[in-house]
Amino acid sequence: MTEPNHVVRSHDNRRQVLYWRLLARLFDHEEQASLESASLAVVEDIGLPTALLDPRAGVDSIVQRHPELAAEFDGLMVPAPDGDGERNRAAEVRRAALVSKLLLNVFASGSGTVTAEQLSRWQSDAGWLERALGCEPGELRSGRPGGGRGVSATGTRGGAPAPDLSQLIPAIGPELGAIEADLVKRMHLREVLADPQLAARLSPSMSLIEQLLRDKNNLSGVALANAKALIRRFVDDVAEVLRTQVEKAGVGALDRSVPPKRVYRNLDLDRTIWKNLTNWSADEERLYVDRLYYRHTARKTTPQRLITVVDQSGSMVDSMVNCTILASIFAGLPKVDVHLIAYDTQALDLTPWVHDPFQTLLRTNLGGGTDGTVAMALAQPKIAEPRNTVVVWISDFYESRSAPLFDAMAAIHRSGAKFIPVGSVTSASRGSVNPWFRERFKDLGTPVISGHIRKLVHELKNFLT
């Protein structure tokens, strides 16, 4: 039944009050008393807790006191499926109150020194925002290839499609990551790490891991032990996600130069029957088989060498973390010889530790300038058999000596080795690729891979298996 006009106007006015308050708090530090009192009246009238208007209250604490709201926050901002039904304006007012709480808690991060408790609460609130968008907590901030979980069965938008992460991550992920990085920088991290109770409140994230890796040489004792524990937790979490992506990626083509193994488990029964149908005896009602057919199961097993070169300058920290872990996963594949080199103005061969990304990251030295020619000097001698070698070079390619580095890369490509330039291995990255290199790679026939790490996983899996 259509609502009367005055009821429609009342709902619209309430929704506008809540959104005007949201905008005022985001862009004006002075509290607007009239908007606050009007918003309080709206929230009380629609039966929601007034804690939604308290900037000090985290979403976790509200949900703990009002468990029924968890289902409303879950999938709250996922677009609803198209329908012919009339708008539910009362539900829109309620949604406006919940959305405003999420956006204010995440994007109005304040200023000044940040405590471990405040960072932890922000991370939790950001996780609720990601859940409201139909994603896993942490997924948009990290750009990790979780693929989106859709909306929980308990959510209010259970029939809606999951959001398009290829659009959401580039748009929202970098903003959330930048806010989190700012909060970490405003925190007295060394003091927090030195206190086991405060350190226990920290949740590892890319922003936090970047700070820990930059500052690790200035830590000792309890602070260093707590930093290492956080790095290992983060490495293990990312490794689990990336390992799943490697397992799901397509494998190499069947090697039909290898005859199929003539064992019963490889017998292609359907093909055997089809090929021998001409031997069917109608009188005896019996099929005589002249030849058995077997399935090809052998795949190319030529030993492959993967040489991964990673720019460890400050702008590439997320790539350094992801590719270090990815290299360790590929190092665990049979007959794959993995080498890992990190560089800034100096190069470091990390191959001895490639199976342990935690130990590898502890040996990195983030920051500084960029000179890829020093890494090339380590990489070139490792190319023993070009046809069986793939070189992955991860960088933004803003180099101090561009021309000689590109010439060496082009020589690798011409030698028959597969050369893969990678600008970014996480779609949450803001990093740009030097257009001088981008155009030359395109002309060379080896365009730069950028965007989601799944692209790199697919490229490598197809070549190495």
Q: Are 124 and 43 in contact, with CB atoms under 8 Å apart?
A: no
Contacts of 97 (CB under 8 A, 6+ apart): 18, 42, 43, 46, 48, 52
Phi, psi (degrees; rounded to nearest 5) at 96: -60, -40
Amino acid at 190: R
Rounded to the nearest angstrom, the gap between the alpha carbon of residue 225 and the centroid of all alpha carbons in its chain is 26
H-assigned helices in 303-452: 317-331, 357-362, 372-379, 402-414, 435-444
**pLDDT over 70 at 146, yes or no:** no
Q: What is the dihedral of CA 431, 437, 439, 440, to 10 degrees?
A: -150
pLDDT at 254: 45
Element (H, E) at 339: strand 336-343
Q: What is the pLDDT of residue 226?
A: 92
Sequence ranges of the domains in the chain: 5-187, 254-298, 304-464
Q: How far out from the chain centre does Cα 45 lie?
A: 41
CB neighbours of 419 closer than 8 A, spacing ≥ 6? Answer: 390, 391, 393, 409, 412, 413, 446
Largest Cα separation within the chain, whole Å, is 98
Confidence of residue 40 (pLDDT cuts 50, 70, 90): very high
In this prediction, residue 150 has a pLDDT band, given cuts at 50, 70 and 90, of: very low
Query: What is the spatial distance between Cα 61 and Cα 69, in angstroms, rounded to a whole number?
Result: 11
pLDDT above 70 covers a percentage of the chain that reads 80
Please determine, for residue 320, whether its predicted confidence score (pLDDT) is greater than 80. no
Q: Which two tokens stand for residue 23?
A: 């905008």
* CA 452 from centre of chain: 7
Task: Return the top range by mean pLDDT from 189-198, 202-211, 419-428.
Answer: 189-198
**Highest mean pLDDT range out of 3-17, 39-53, 84-98, 173-187?**
39-53
pLDDT band at 362 (very low <50, low <70, confident <90, very high): confident
pTM value?
Answer: 0.63
- Segment 121-144 shows an average pLDDT of 84
Neighbours of 275 (CB within 10 A): 15
C-alpha 329/C-alpha 297 separation (Å) is: 24
> How confident is the model at residue 145, as a pLDDT?
42
Distance CA 241, CA 147 (A): 10
Domain 304-464 belongs to what topology? Rossmann fold (3.40.50)
